[in-house]
Amino acid sequence: MTQYDELTEFLLRLGDSALIQAQRLCEWTGRAPAIEEEMGMMNVGLDLVGQARNWYEYAAERINDGTDADVLAFRRDERAFRNLLLVEQPNGDFAVTMTKQFFYDAWQFHLLTILKDAKDERISAIATKSLKEVIYHLRRSSQWVERLGDGTDESHQRMEKAIDAVWRFTVELVEKNAAEMALAESGDIPSLAELPEQWLATVNKVFAKATLTVPDAPSTFYLSARTGMHTEYLGILLAEMQFLQRAYPDASW
C-alpha cells in the first residue's frame, strides 16, 4: 500500500470518492424508480466520472512514474483507495441511495467552494468546474430528501432507516484531519476548518424541511479510508469495476 505525498493523497481522496459514488450510480441502470430518474442519476454519474478523471490526471502528474488516470482507477487495490467510506456503501433502496448522495453532495459543495480559491491553479480550476456541476447535484438530492422525508409515512420511515444505516460513515465528513490541516498550513490548499460546521448546517437545514431528525454526532474507530481501512463492500465493488484491466493486463481498450 503506497502512501504518496499528502497533497497527492488528498487528490486521490477526491478522485476516488467521485469514481466510487459514480460506480454505485451506474448500478441503478434500468432500475430507477422512474425513467426520468435514470436520466438524472446518469447525469450526476457522468459529472462525477469526469471529476474523478480530472483529479486523477493531476495526481498522476504528481506521482510521475508513468501512471495515468486509468491505472489509478483500475489497477489499485482496496487498501490504496482513499474514497469516503460513505460512497462505497451499497445502494440499498432509493432512500439509502439518496441519503448517501445528499451527504456526499453537501460535502462536495462546501469542500469545492473552499478549494476554488486554492492557490494551486490546477486544484482551483478543477474545483471551479466541478462546483458548477455539484450545485445542481446538491439541489437535486436535497429536494429528494425533502420529498421522501416529508412525503408518505412509508417514505419517512424508509428515510429514517436509511439515515440510521449510513450516519456513522459521515464521521469522515466532519472530522478535522491532521494531514489536511498541515496542507492548509503549508498553503497547498485553503483551510478546511469551517467544512464540518458548513456541512452540518446544510444537513440541518434540509432535514428540517424534510421533517427528519439529525442524529447525534457519529463515532467510529478503526475504519478510516485515509489509511485504506475500508468496509468489506469496496473490495467487491472494485473486483467488478476493475475486472477487464485485471483479467487482461496487456490489453488496450
Residues that bind another protein (CB under 8 A): 19, 23, 26-27, 29-40, 42-43, 45-46, 49-50, 52-53, 56, 69-70, 73-74, 93-94, 139-140, 143, 146-148, 150-152, 154-155, 158, 240-241, 243-245, 248, 250-253
CB of 200: closest distance to another protein in angstroms?
A: 24
Torsion of CA 24, 237, 165, 43, to 10 degrees: -10
Nearer residue to another protein within complex by CB, 61 or 185: 61
Nearer residue to another protein within complex by CB, 56 or 104: 56
d(CA 166, CA 174) in angstroms, rounded, equals: 14
| Residues in contact with 131: Cβ distance below 8 Å, sequence separation at least 6, in sequence order | 109, 112, 113, 116
CB of 12: closest distance to another protein in angstroms?
A: 14
Mapped onto helix, strand or coil, the DSSP state of residue 163 is: helix
CB of 138: closest distance to another protein in angstroms?
A: 12
Nearer residue to another protein within complex by CB, 66 or 216: 66
Nearer residue to another protein within complex by CB, 205 or 243: 243
CB of 198: closest distance to another protein in angstroms?
A: 24
Closest Cα to residue 18, out of 110, 101, 75, 92? 101
CB of 14: closest distance to another protein in angstroms?
A: 15
Nearer residue to another protein within complex by CB, 152 or 227: 152
d(CA 29, CA 225) in angstroms, rounded, equals: 27
| Cα radius of gyration (the chain) | 18
Q: Spell out the long-range contacts of 179-184 with Cβ–Cβ below 8 A and sequence spacing 24 or more.
A: 179/6, 179/9, 179/10, 179/226, 180/10, 182/6, 183/6, 183/7, 183/10
